[in-house]
Structure 1
């Protein structure tokens, strides 16, 4: 961690899900104090608080008062943010930030007595996974220069990649992340299922996956597209489609991606320099 020993904040964490479960120990490790943990499910708040010694849990799903803190950090689902903001009774002038990639900073305009901010970690969070926070990009936005500076300073105690990102850019990042992470994971799930039917492990694809990602990070990805769709290999496409007839949902995905690849490569700006085809 790039921890600044001079910065030690008292942080109230609202939420106890996947993001909060990773943030709580990371904040404590970086030298900050957790003023408390709240969740709509009190047992969940208590369970997370128990993993960070000395951290109290607010054991009520309906709160009207909060302990004093330098920052109130909302790590709750996007859809729950407006309701939590309306329900909580933040002290006047409090700095309140959410961790969402899509919710705009303007969500805080409904609470003129607080100062709003965004502390968005660009990463996927799952139970049981241990993250290296030094490598997690943090996207920061603040309603005032002072709020933004404090959130930036907090970010630097966790990560080596911290930058100011306005709402429109952050929302675009989130869409890109859904394609890169969530959609890719779904496609890997399909790959896993198809291989499992033949008693083959997903690990068989590991070298291919590593090369695909490394190549895409080293070049504009559209320029290194390979495969039967890119080369308009009709016989191979037909065999794949026939093999997927028992899986209409996956066949629809296959056809949609095939069409998307071909249309992209036909676009005037496309430049396919794929080399050896898969």
Structure 2
């Protein structure tokens, strides 16, 4: 089984590495920036670097569209794929139809579509254990589904069939648990930096909070803090301190109310 990677971002970097590691040949890397494509290509055994979306002569069987959500349809409309190709996107938030309908409109040759969504936050250069990463699969027909399941199971022990609606819900939850949580840490650091205090002081607290949440049946069971306790004096003190920063104040008030409403 041969694959091609369209894109040069974090997901592309990691998929290229894990496929090659598991003896799945990456035949093509596409990138508008040739240097970024070459950067990924350097870690691969035998790959062609493309700066044009013409894959009509490619040896790949599956084409992974690893681009931003808003660019998926545009890339699929402009790319040339060989007959019988399988074209998949890797987005959590976009439906299968982003590929399926675009291919139907813009391509005369028969091609199939699917989704191959790894539920993980990726950073170039930071290795992850793909065997533990859930991969959500969706496709337009059983043959494509079986092929994508085989690819997914070659790199992960956590593979699931999931339709577009289910995957979109999963993606919303992922934003809360990953992106929003990380942003709250960034806000915490900004508060401490403004007072010349060290963010390292919070790292044991962050680690223990994460550890307890992962060990519990429900994260709400291990909730602590002034909002849960109804500690009005502490809350007022915090609000007074944050009064001059409307953004931080709004975040604090919103989350405090959310915690209190939940635990009522």
Q: TM-score, normalised by structure 2?
A: 0.91
Once residues 233 and 146 of structure 2 are traced to their aligned partners in structure 1, the CA distance between those partners, rounded to angstroms, is 58
Once residues 159 and 205 of structure 1 are traced to their aligned partners in structure 2, the CA distance between those partners, rounded to angstroms, is 33
Quote the offset at 1:198 in angstroms. Answer: 4.1
Q: 1:228 to 1:204 in 2, by over 3 A?
A: same
Contact 2:69 2:94 in 1 (8 A): yes
Once residues 223 and 50 of structure 1 are traced to their aligned partners in structure 2, the CA distance between those partners, rounded to angstroms, is 47
The answer to whether 1:157 aligns with 2:154 is yes
The secondary structure found in structure 2 opposite 1:93 is coil
Structural mapping, 1:1-278, within 5 Å: 9-60=1-52, 62-63=53-54, 65-107=56-98, 108-112=100-104, 113-217=110-214, 218-266=216-264
The secondary structure found in structure 2 opposite 1:176 is helix
Quote the offset at 1:65 in angstroms. Answer: 3.5
The secondary structure found in structure 1 opposite 2:227 is coil
Quote the offset at 1:29 in angstroms. Answer: 0.5
Deviation per CA, 1:45-68: give whole Å up to 9, x if none: 1222122232110133x5473513
More displaced stretch, 9-18 vs 177-186: 9-18
The secondary structure found in structure 2 opposite 1:131 is coil
Quote the offset at 1:206 in angstroms. Answer: 2.7
Quote the offset at 1:211 in angstroms. Answer: 2.6
User: Unaligned stretches of 5+ in structure 2?
Assistant: 105-109
More displaced stretch, 17-26 vs 190-199: 190-199
Contact 1:136 1:159 in 2 (8 A): yes
Once residues 240 and 137 of structure 2 are traced to their aligned partners in structure 1, the CA distance between those partners, rounded to angstroms, is 48
The secondary structure found in structure 2 opposite 1:73 is strand
Contact 2:27 2:48 in 1 (8 A): yes
What is the root-mean-square deviation in Å for CA atoms of aligned residues? 1.7
Quote the offset at 1:215 in angstroms. Answer: 2.5
Once residues 43 and 193 of structure 1 are traced to their aligned partners in structure 2, the CA distance between those partners, rounded to angstroms, is 34
User: Unaligned stretches of 5+ in structure 1?
Assistant: 1-8, 267-278
Quote the offset at 1:131 in angstroms. Answer: 1.0
Q: Which has the higher helix share?
A: 2
- Give the number of equivalent residue pairs: 257
Q: TM-score, normalised by structure 1?
A: 0.87
The secondary structure found in structure 1 opposite 2:93 is coil
Quote the offset at 1:200 in angstroms. Answer: 3.6
Once residues 203 and 161 of structure 1 are traced to their aligned partners in structure 2, the CA distance between those partners, rounded to angstroms, is 34
The secondary structure found in structure 2 opposite 1:89 is coil
